[in-house]
Amino acid sequence: MDNVLFNYVVNGVAVLGPIPYREVLARTGLTDTIGLAELGWVEHIPVPDEPEITKEQLDMGTRNLRKYLLQESDWTQLSDNALTAAKKAEWATYRQQLRDMPATFATATKISDIVVPTAPT
């Protein structure tokens, strides 16, 4: 259980931690996790390291994601869908943003540099 860590959070900010689970129980006097959240203790989830990938892999991933999202939204441009003209135009704009992704993120060097456009609702 020592690989489970907790932070002590006050007003949404971690002020103490990460602390091993057993030590948190010793500090709080609790015998299990019931009550930890009420006392301000939340499980510590470390930010994962971003994987190392080549520029070619990043570009290929961007193109594949773009292709998938375009295919998933093809129905929005069919003449017999139930969308209004305004909604259809929103989807057309979104699809253009998808098509522009390779050029928009041509200088991206890591996955977190890629921001996927948000689909209309």
Q: What is the mean pLDDT of the chain?
A: 88
Q: How far apart are CA 8 and CA 15, in angstroms?
A: 6
pLDDT of 37-93, one tens digit each?
Answer: 778 887 877 777 888 899 999 999 999 999 999 999 999 999 999 999 999 999 999
pTM listed for this prediction: 0.60
